Amino acid sequence: MNGARKRGKTAKAKYTKRHNWYSVAASTYKEKVIAMMEEQAPGLAPRSKEYLGHYQKALKEFTDDLDEGEREELETTAAEWNALGPPEDMKRRSVTCRRIMELSA
């Protein structure tokens, strides 16, 4: 046609979440972080800007208090999750949360 090159079909890129020790800590210790956050700032509405800000602050404080052995364990777990995928309950929780957010929007 007009001198344009034809491109061959390329495989679709697969996008997967890459886990690091911090995201593994957020998933693994979620209940402890939420309890810590609610002690510091009780009565916040879930999914509000203030709630998320306090959650991030509590998660940072929690991860700063981890010792080197716990952090190495989280790094090992992150490598496993990147190679094999997260455990089934984590996958299910992620899909369920996404579906709830879609329905509430």
Q: Is residue 2 part of a domain?
A: no
The whole model's pTM is what?
0.67
Domain that holds residue 54: 21-104
Q: Is residue 41 part of a domain?
A: yes
Q: Is residue 83 part of a domain?
A: yes
Q: Is residue 15 part of a domain?
A: no
Q: Tell me, what's the pLDDT at 103? A: 65
Q: Is residue 10 part of a domain?
A: no
Q: Is residue 12 part of a domain?
A: no
Q: Is residue 7 part of a domain?
A: no
pLDDT tens for each residue of 42-59: 888 888 888 888 999 999
Q: Tell me, what's the pLDDT at 1? A: 55
Amino acid at 61: E
CB 63 within 8 A of CB 28: no
Residues of the chain with pLDDT under 50: none
Q: Tell me, what's the pLDDT at 18? A: 84
* Number of domain units in the chain: 1
Q: Tell me, what's the pLDDT at 76? A: 95
Q: With the C-alpha atoms ordered 92, 95, 101, 103, is the resulting torsion angle positive or negative?
A: negative
